[in-house]
């Protein structure tokens, strides 16, 4: 018997339903991912909760329809819809959704529907169901999840060779400018007042879309605090059955407050009286849900990297600042965090920090080739010698021919022994950065 209540809930989310199909402001990832919708591989979009994955899927669905695919042959399913609260989320529910769509919807009996399954990690056994539908030619499927464990080892085994994974980060600075209707002008000098204003906002409130669109500071902070709680409790505590929630909160708070600082498991263990297994597990869980990201120290011996202290960065400066209750005194490390979060958007890039006689914030590889060494010196009105020497030492150590120092407003070129170092304002580099 057709499930009309379920169909009504599905209609609410879909382009063929009676309501407005909101696609929001276009993301850079939309055009990059559109070609994958015509392929047989499952497209898996992962990322932090509230980073815009659902909106991105709606944009992709809308592009399909614009290209000639019938709206009636598309289905968007939000597995956090209340309609699913009174039923187990398992393959039987997936079958029920699929069958209801064909029974009460209007797809052609011979249609190969385009399925967009939002927060699919909530559904037990989803990976085998998805693989079976794709391999039998019964559907083309895009999925999202708020955890890197969307493709955990056993799931990845099921989908090997059948999926393309894309990480959606919070808004880049270029995207923020577009969201807020500000012009992107990387050629102006000095910086346009509007761009400097938006960069200050970006460093303080981050790049989560709803926060970026809000104008009231109290609303922004309230949203960010709620997002922190949602990520912690829904994506970590609930998913991993954490019993010592207070300890998890302390570890999360520690990492966010100390964004850009060195960290060791042993230090956290001693500071909070935790077992080493707890520290390791909590850190892994926080990274899996995209709250933080760890950066290894560069070492020519790969085997030694895991034993060296790591830097930990907040994935969104807004969430960090809402939790830390600090901003102005940390502006340098927050600017460094913004640079890190821009670098990791490129899936072909690997990032390390460098420590020798001097220090350098980032050494960047593209594939197996060292590309550049980057130093963030945001607060200084002149370049301290240690910042320049740190870049030069890192370039020599890794074999990179290019160095970059990012500042608040300084711009110049430095030539040291045939090695070129560019000094650029952070705002300009962010405006020029690729999506």
Could you tell me if 340 and 295 are in contact, meaning their C-beta atoms sit under 8 angstroms apart? Answer: yes
Summarize pLDDT for 345-404 with one digit per residue, the tens: 998 999 999 999 999 999 999 988 999 999 999 977 788 999 999 999 999 999 998 999
190: preceding bond cis by omega (within 30 degrees) = yes
Residue 327 vs residue 11, higher pLDDT:
11
Dist. CA 137–CA 113, nearest whole Å:
10
Neighbours of 304 (CB within 10 A): 11
Q: Token digits for 431?
A: 């405006």
Q: What backbone phi and psi angles, to 5 degrees, belong to 340?
A: -55, -45
Please provide the average confidence, as pLDDT, over all residues in the chain: 91
Q: Token digits for 96?
A: 């029920």
The DSSP line for 89-122 is -SHHHHHHHHHHHHHHS---TT---EEEEETGGG
Summarize pLDDT for 283-319 with one digit per residue, the tens: 999 999 999 999 999 988 766 666 789 999 999 999 9
What value does the mean pLDDT take over residues 410-414?
A: 92
Dist. CA 239–CA 370, nearest whole Å:
38
Q: Token digits for 27?
A: 């993301």
Q: CA angle, corner 292, sides to 288 and 296, nearest 5?
A: 95
DSSP state of 150: G
Give per-residue burial for 222-242: e unless 16+ CB within 10 Å, then b: ebbeebbeebbebbbbebbeb
Q: Token digits for 357?
A: 């006689």
Residue % of the chain over a pLDDT of 70: 96
Residue 269 above 90 pLDDT?
yes
Dist. CA 29–CA 35, nearest whole Å:
11
Q: What backbone phi and psi angles, to 5 degrees, belong to 51?
A: -85, -5
What domains does the chain contain, in order, with CATH numbers? 4-168 (3.40.50.300), 173-432 (no CATH)
Which pLDDT score, from 0 to 100, does residue 151 have?
60
Q: Token digits for 127?
A: 């990976």
Residue 136 vs residue 187, higher pLDDT:
136
What value does the mean pLDDT take over residues 100-116?
A: 88
Which pLDDT score, from 0 to 100, does residue 186 have?
73
The pTM of the full predicted model, rounded to 2 decimals, is 0.93
Residue 115 above 90 pLDDT?
yes
Residue 169 above 90 pLDDT?
yes
Which pLDDT score, from 0 to 100, does residue 1 have?
63
Nearest to 354, CA basis, from 337, 375, 377: 375
Helix (H) or strand (E) holding 372: strand 369-377
Q: Token digits for 44?
A: 């898996």
Residue 148: pLDDT band (50, 70, 90) is confident
Which pLDDT score, from 0 to 100, does residue 303 have?
62
Which pLDDT score, from 0 to 100, does residue 184 have?
83
Helix (H) or strand (E) holding 46: strand 42-47
Could you tell me if 120 and 143 are in contact, meaning their C-beta atoms sit under 8 angstroms apart? Answer: yes
């Amino acid at each position: 018997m057709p499930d009309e209540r379920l169909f009504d809930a599905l209609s609410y989310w879909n382009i063929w339903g009676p309501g407005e199909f909101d696609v929001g402001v276009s993301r850079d990832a939309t055009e990059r991912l559109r070609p994958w919708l015509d392929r047989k591989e499952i497209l898996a979009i992962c990322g932090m909760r509230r980073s815009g994955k659902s909106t991105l899927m709606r944009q992709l669905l809308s592009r399909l329809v614009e290209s000639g695919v019938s709206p009636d042959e598309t289905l968007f399913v939000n597995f956090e819809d209340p309609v699913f609260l009174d039923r187990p989320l398992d393959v039987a529910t997936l079958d029920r959704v699929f069958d209801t769509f064909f029974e009460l919807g209007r797809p052609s009996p011979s249609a190969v529907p385009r399925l967009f399954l939002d927060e699919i990690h909530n559904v037990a056994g989803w990976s085998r169901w998805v693989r079976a539908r794709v391999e039998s030619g019964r559907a083309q499927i895009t999925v999202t999840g708020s955890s890197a464990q969307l493709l955990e080892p056993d799931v990845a085994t099921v989908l090997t060779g059948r999926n393309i994974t894309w990480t959606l980060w919070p808004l880049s600075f270029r995207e923020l400018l577009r969201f807020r209707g500000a012009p992107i002008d990387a050629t102006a000098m000095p910086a346009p007042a509007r761009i400097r204003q938006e960069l200050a906002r970006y460093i303080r409130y981050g790049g989560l879309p709803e926060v970026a669109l809000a104008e009231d500071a109290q609303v922004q902070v309230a949203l960010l605090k709620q997002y922190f709680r949602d990520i912690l409790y829904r994506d970590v505590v609930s998913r991993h059955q954490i019993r010592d929630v207070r300890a998890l909160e302390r570890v999360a708070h520690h990492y966010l407050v100390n964004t850009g600082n060195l960290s060791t498991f042993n230090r956290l263990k001693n500071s909070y009286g935790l077992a080493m297994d707890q520290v390791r597990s909590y850190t892994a869980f926080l990274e899996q849900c995209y709250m933080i990201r760890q950066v290894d120290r560069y070492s020519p011996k790969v085997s030694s990297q895991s034993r060296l202290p790591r830097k930990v960065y907040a994935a969104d400066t807004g969430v960090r600042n809402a939790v830390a209750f600090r901003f102005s005194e940390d502006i340098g490390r927050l600017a460094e965090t913004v640079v890190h979060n821009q670098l990791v958007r490129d899936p072909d890039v690997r990032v390390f920090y460098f420590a020798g006689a001097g220090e350098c914030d980032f050494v960047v590889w593209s594939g197996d080739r060292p590309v550049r060494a980057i130093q963030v010196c945001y607060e200084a009105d002149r370049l301290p010698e240690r910042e320049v020497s740190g870049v030069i030492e890192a370039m020599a150590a890794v074999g990179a021919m290019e160095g970059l120092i990012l500042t608040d407003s300084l711009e110049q070129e430095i030539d040291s022994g045939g090695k070129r170092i560019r000094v650029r304002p952070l705002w300009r580099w962010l405006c020029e950065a690729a999506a």
